[in-house]
Structures are given as structure tokens and as C-alpha cells.
Amino acid sequence: MGQQVRGVCILDTLDRLDEALAELRRWNRYPRAILFLEEPARLKGLTADQLGRLKNDGIRLLRLPSIVELPQHDSVTLLPMRDINIEELLARDPIELDRGAIAKLIRGRRVLITGAGGSIGAELCRQVAAFDCAHLTLLDISETALFEIDREMRETFPHIPRKAVMCDVRQAPRLTAAFKAEKPDLVFHAAALKHVSMVEHHPSEGVLTNVIGTWNVTEASKAAGAGQMVLISTDKAVDPTNVMGATKRMAEAVIQAQQSSGKGTRFSAVRFGNVLGSAGSVVPIFKSQIERGGPVTITHPDMERFFMTIPEAAQLVLHATATSAEGERRDARLFLLEMGEPVRILDLARQMIALSGRTPGRDIDIEVTGLRPGEKLTEALLDETESSVPCAPKVLEVISNSALRVTPSHLAELEALANEGDVDRVRDALFALVSQVRGEKPGGAPNLRVIAGG
């Protein structure tokens, strides 16, 4: 310490943080805020206990925008500071992406995003608008979510022409009419039912939205002459033991069944793990439990998950899509985002409690509630029947030898069962199809079990 810029103390290394703060307190210059010039994911020198003490002392932790938040223009005139949040401190090292390829993909194109009001859908809206798309169509069935993202786009990107469309991906005729009216060049399909426990109890709804909805979006994309359609998938589609994962595996199979020739629509799917801070995910739940004074609940002390931040996930989706747009290949492609090392949920809970300025086990208890039906201890990003090859930084292409090409008749049968609402028959039919897709012997739904490996 000792360096100053206009009276602001400069600390060259995090190793001396405690020493510097003690010295500043001695001189009655204890700070009200600390601005970190490194990106948050690089602040590995800070312990959760240190951050907890800083928050307890009322010190704001500020940062500059991360690389995925910078405006996509050639010159940056203003770098607004903002508070570091918990998700960023738990994230991985920042990634360097080919922004030129993404700009080429988006700039001047008409883009439609389903599930535009959701966590990933909304972030895709922000990034697509920041890359200067020609027109943005926000499509969602949730009135509140659609209203909020439309208002945000109007206020943040007033120069981007846009249209908010309230439409259910289950309604094929309405969806196709909306697509034909909007004439998108590029479609991102983020609309889905994603909560494992909810879809487990409502398999018909999961099938109708996640499987039939995906089929409807592929057909609408072709009818509207879209250049590309991209499905947002999940690692829960790998060797699925729950209905949500099985429906997303079937959604991937719907995409993989698409073939285009000449100037037809290119199809791809992008698979990744959990995103930090998405609606209903573990971080917001832990935050809420900590704010109430605990306990923080986890289902198993050994449970692990892959995590990335919402902005990083969205930009990697764009990155993978730009990769798919290049070259002569017309077959449907499945991409996998590199997720780094899995995070133990118990460690995440302890970090978040410490980051709130409290001590795990003393101020706030951690309770183990037991695994829920269909829940795995760990997730895998690749099935045993799949392999992967690198195709871009942080993006792999999945090589899948599916034993079944999904046809309209498969989906019609599944849709009819879902509309009848017989929970057991829907589940049996769904897992039988997934078994065929994965190359297993066709059969009914597996007994839900805990899998200790991927």
C-alpha cells in the first residue's frame, strides 16, 4: 500500500488486504467501498470469511463491467461501477470469446427468442440487442415476464425495433402465424418447464411444453424461413432419471431429427449445466433462507452441480450458434458448453452464509432434507453413448449415434397421451422413447434412483 490516485488508496495485491484495512482504520480512513479492478471470477485470493467481514463492516464491494457485459460498440466511453454479487464471486475464470463472430451472426438480423422473460431468455435478449440486431421479437406465455422484459428492452435499448408476442409454444397454429408475421432470421428456443420436482409431478405438462413445444418451434421456424433455430438444453438430459431431463432429451432428439438442404433452416441445440442466479435455482433459494435467518436446506451433503453465470451461459450460446452458422454442414448439431469443475452444494451453502457476514453452524444452520424423486448426486455433461470434440473455445460438439430418429408419429402418440393426462402412461411412453433414443432396450420408465456417478 502507499500508492494513491487522487486520494484513493491503491492496493497492489489481495494478500495484503487485512493489513491494509487495519492500517486505514488506524489512520481513521476506513473505506466505505472497495473497487476491484480485476474481474470478480479472478478474486480467488479473497476468502469467504474476509468478504463476510467486509460486508459486516458496511463496505460496498464494487467492480467494473465484466467482459460479457461490455457494450458491443467499438468505443466504450463509460464504464459504470456496480456491486459485486455472490454469483460472480463463485464463478469460474472469465472467458475470451470471438466477439467478431457473434457480431457477424447478430448484427442486422431479425431475432426471435421464446421464453424471452425467463432467466436465460432475458439475458439472450439483452446480448442480442447489444449486438445491434435489426429487430427483436420477445415471445412468452407469461404476461408478467413478457411485460418486464419488454419494459427493460424499451428503456435500455430504445433504438432496437422490437415486438412483444404473448404466445404458448404448445399452440402450433398460433405459433406458426406469429413466426410468419415476425419473419425471424434467427430463433433461440429458451421456453421450457425446468423445475425437476414440478415436472416430476406434472409429466403431461412437461411433455407438452418441452417436447411438443420444441417440435412446434422447429416447424414454425421452417415455415417462416428462419436461417437458424437453436434449442437451449440442459445436462439433465444426459441419462435422465427424472421427467424434466427426459423431456429435454426428447427435445434434443427432435432437433437432431431435423435435416436441412440447400438454404433450409439450420438446427442446433446447446447443452449446459446450472446457471447461477436463475429463477428457482439454488442461489436465490439460499439467499432467501439466509435472509430469513435459516436454516439453509440441502438435499445431500455430497451433491455436486456444474455452474456458470447467466451472462456467460448466454454468450456461450451465441458463440456456439455462430460456430454452427459457419461452413457447409446442414445436419442438426448438438453443442456442449465447458462447465469447469462441479461445485459441491454444501460448500456453496457455507460460502453464501459466510458472504452474508454470518458463520455456518453458529448463526445459521445447514439442514440435510434428503434427495427428491429423480434427483442425482452428480450430473454428467455427456451420455455413455456420446463423445465430444472441441469446435470453438469453451464449446464442444457432441457426437451422438442415436438409435432412433424421432418422427411426427412418435410425437403425435406422446402428445395424445399427454392430453389425456394419464400420468403413469405418459411417463412410461416418455421413458420408452428416451430408451430407444439412447440405444437401450425399449421399456417403461426406470425406477427412479440416486446415481452417485454421472
Between 439 and 214, name the one with better pLDDT: 214
Which pLDDT belongs to residue 35? Answer: 79
Instruction: Give residue 38's pLDDT band: very low, low, confident or very high (50, 70, 90).
Output: low
Evaluate if residue 171 carries a pLDDT over 90: yes
Mean pLDDT, to the nearest integer, of 36-42? 64
Alpha helices for 57-118 (secondary structure H): 86-89, 99-106
The winner for highest mean pLDDT among 8-12, 48-52, 405-409 is 405-409
Evaluate if residue 207 carries a pLDDT over 90: yes
Residue 159 has what DSSP assignment?
Answer: T
d(CA 73, CA 90): 29
Evaluate if residue 350 carries a pLDDT over 90: no
Evaluate if residue 387 carries a pLDDT over 80: yes
Dihedral sign from CA coordinates of 430, 432, 437, 440: positive
* DSSP characters over 193-207: ---HHHHHH-HHHHI
Mean pLDDT, to the nearest integer, of 267-295? 85
Evaluate if residue 95 carries a pLDDT over 70: no
Between 348 and 295, name the one with better pLDDT: 295
Evaluate if residue 452 carries a pLDDT over 70: no
Mean pLDDT, to the nearest integer, of 403-422? 90
Evaluate if residue 453 carries a pLDDT over 50: no
Instruction: Give residue 450's pLDDT band: very low, low, confident or very high (50, 70, 90).
Output: very low
For the ranges 212-221, 283-292, 398-407, the lowest mean pLDDT is seen at 398-407
Quote the mean pLDDT of the chain: 83
Between 336 and 50, name the one with better pLDDT: 336
Which pLDDT belongs to residue 20? Answer: 78
Mean pLDDT, to the nearest integer, of 279-288? 82
Mean pLDDT, to the nearest integer, of 182-198? 95
Catalytic sites, residue numbers: 236
Mean pLDDT, to the nearest integer, of 253-271? 85
For the ranges 132-146, 197-211, 319-333, the lowest mean pLDDT is seen at 319-333
> For residue 51, what is its C-alpha cell?
468478504
Evaluate if residue 203 carries a pLDDT over 50: yes
Which pLDDT belongs to residue 300? Answer: 92
Instruction: Give residue 449's pLDDT band: very low, low, confident or very high (50, 70, 90).
Output: very low
The winner for highest mean pLDDT among 43-52, 249-258, 274-283 is 249-258
Evaluate if residue 407 carries a pLDDT over 70: yes
* DSSP characters over 330-394: -B-EEEEE---S-EEHHHHHHHHHHHTT--BTTTB-EEE--PPTT--SS--SS-TTEEEEEEETT
Evaluate if residue 305 carries a pLDDT over 90: no
Environment class of 443 (CB within 10 Å of its CB; exposed 0-12, middle 13-18, buried 19+)? exposed
Which pLDDT belongs to residue 118? Answer: 94
Evaluate if residue 272 carries a pLDDT over 90: no
> Distance of alpha carbon 66 from its chain centroid, rounded?
17
- pLDDT, one tens digit per residue, over 96-147 is 677 888 999 999 999 999 999 999 999 999 999 999 999 999 999 999 999 9
Q: Which domains does the chain have, with CATH numbers?
A: 3-89 (no CATH), 99-343+375-437 (3.40.50.720)
Which pLDDT belongs to residue 85? Answer: 66
> For residue 245, what is its C-alpha cell?
431431463
Instruction: Give residue 342's pLDDT band: very low, low, confident or very high (50, 70, 90).
Output: confident
Evaluate if residue 5 carries a pLDDT over 70: no
Q: Which residue type occupies 320? A: A
The pair phi, psi for residue 313, each rounded to 5°, is -60, -45
CB 371 within 8 A of CB 300: yes
Between 93 and 143, name the one with better pLDDT: 143
Between 452 and 41, name the one with better pLDDT: 41
Between 185 and 30, name the one with better pLDDT: 185
| Percent of the chain predicted with pLDDT > 90 | 44
Which pLDDT belongs to residue 42? Answer: 58
Mean pLDDT, to the nearest integer, of 389-407? 82
Evaluate if residue 180 carries a pLDDT over 90: yes
The Cα diameter of the chain in Å comes to 77
Mean pLDDT, to the nearest integer, of 7-32? 74
Mean pLDDT, to the nearest integer, of 196-201? 92
Q: Which residue type occupies 392? A: A
Which pLDDT belongs to residue 29? Answer: 74
